[in-house]
Amino acid sequence: MSPSFRFSDPVRGKALADAIAILAPPDPFKIVHVCGTHEMTITRNGLRRFLPQTVALLEGPGCPVCVTPARDIDMAIEIARTGAILCTYGDMIRVPGSDLSLDQARSDGCDVRTVLSAADAVEIARGTDREVVFFAVGFETTAPMTAAILLDDPPPNLSVLPSHKRIPPALAALLDLPDHRIGAYLAPGHVSTIIGTVPYEERLDGRRIPVVIGGFEPLDVLYAIALILRQHRDGTPKVENAYPRAVDAEGNPAAQKLLDQVFESADANWRGIGVIPASGLELRAPLRRFDARHRFAIDLPEGVDTIPGCRCPDVLTARAVPSDCPLFATRCTPLSPVGPCMVGSEGACSIWFHYGGERPL
């Protein structure tokens, strides 16, 4: 039996490393990706070792629970305090809201449950008379699953607290921040399997910045970096697909249809970044009866997104790496996290803490 093709094949890795070295830009060049899974691949495989000294590779707003605003967490807690069963993904539970996390609310007696998929919340709702609320976070990858449960005759005691976010508007918004110095985007493969390549072209048209969609294996990431550096060298910035085995221009029309049937675009607050136009998803009017914000009609003040001393906002906007934060691995660890980027398993700080983001040479 011949050995199966491996996406971490060292011979191919060396070939890509050589290509990256040849394409090394003379001046500092910052590549930003927006996906915790990319950061995981980069860090776990020690891929920063392949980067020329001039190239920096940072995670931007790639962790969905990290960019969930405190106010949404506060809302989830208030809903749970009414006696409803609050279901959400495990990562969300420990992210601090303005005062408390859902985990702390749970120890105060709230019924907060971890689910692995939106469908689990439906199961819970079918088994009880109590109100069940699914706190729906995530990018275009998880949003279709939320849409699917709402289109599949959900039980009347189920509602959704939507806090989904869309990636392309965020990519555009980061380029409007002062001092961003972003030279290129490594765009997320998973999100792109859903949305295709067209939204990047629409959003980033005229920005003259390389945008390369990359997969999640070590060779995928190295290949995408090589393509970015080639575009940069040749002065031909464009949207390029380095993950064609999963992504095509149109994306996944079935998932897009689900999204379109259930959601409409809305401005959304990204923790650490601010309000980004048309970057959120709200339930369309016919489905509003399933919107927990309407069902529970709780009035809340603005949330407190910032945490004294925590540099999550800089990490989420790719203006700092985790080890730039004085709290990193000192006062802030996964066991006693200060900021959201240390809580979410896709947060850059958490990944650096677990998998050694500093590079040994």
Partner 1 sequence: MSPDRNETRISQLHGAGGELAGELLDRLLLPRLGAETSARIGLRHLDDGATIALPEAAEGELVLTTDSHVVKPIFFPGGDIGRLAAAGTINDLAVMGARPIALTLAAIVEEGFPIADLDRIVESFAEALEESGVPVVCGDTKVMPAGDVDGIVLNTTGLGIATPAVSDAGLAVGDRVLLTGSIGDHGMALLAAREEFHLKTRLESDVAPIWPLIAALLRGVVPGAVHAMKDPTRGGLAAALNEMARKSETCIDIEESAIPIHEPVRGLSELLGISPLEVANEGKAIVIVAPDAAAEALRALRAHPLGAEASIVGTVTNEYPKRVILDTEVGGRRFLDMPLGDPVPRIC
Residues that bind partner 1 (CB under 8 A): 6, 8-10, 13-14, 17, 36-37, 40, 43-50, 64, 89-91, 116, 120, 138-139, 141-142, 190, 218-219, 222, 333-335, 345-346, 353-356, 358-361
Structure tokens at 96: 């601090």
When the beta carbons of 35 and 262 are compared against partner 1, the nearer one is: 35
Shortest distance in whole angstroms from residue 13 CB to partner 1: 4
Nearer to partner 1, 119 or 175 (CB): 119
Nearer to partner 1, 64 or 237 (CB): 64
Shortest distance in whole angstroms from residue 115 CB to partner 1: 9
One-letter-per-residue 3-state SS of 120-171: HHHHHHHCCCCCEEEEEEECCCCHHHHHHHHHCCCCCCEEEEEEEECHHHHH
CB of 3 to partner 1, least distance (A): 11
Residue among 234 and 358 whose Cβ is closer to partner 1: 358
Between the CA of residue 168 and those of 88, 242, 276, what are the distances in Å? Answer: 24, 17, 11
C-alpha pair distances (Å), 190 with each of 29, 141, 193 = 25, 6, 5
Q: How far is the CB of 47 from partner 1 (least distance, A)?
A: 5
Q: What is the DSSP string of 29-47?
A: EEEEE--HHHHHHHHHTTG
d(CA 78, CA 110): 9
By beta-carbon proximity to partner 1, the closer residue of 95 and 209 is 95
Tokens for 278, please give them: 């048309």
Minimum CB distance to partner 1, residue 79 (Å): 20
> Which residues touch 353 (CB under 8 Å, ≥6 apart)?
322, 328, 329, 333, 334, 342
- Please enumerate in sequence order all residues whose Cβ is within 8 A of that of 163, keeping only pairs 6 or more positions apart, or say none: 68, 69, 72, 135, 136, 137, 280
Q: Select 188 or 272, whichever has its Cβ closest to partner 1.
A: 188
- Cβ at position 285, least distance to partner 1 in Å: 28
Q: Where do we find the tokens 């208030």?
A: 78
The least CB distance from residue 16 to partner 1, in Å, is 9
Residue whose CB is less far from partner 1, 114 or 157: 114
Of residues 120 and 201, the one with the C-beta less far from partner 1: 120
Of 48, 6, 46, 51, the residue nearest 24 (C-alpha): 51
Min dist CB 87 to partner 1, Å, is 12
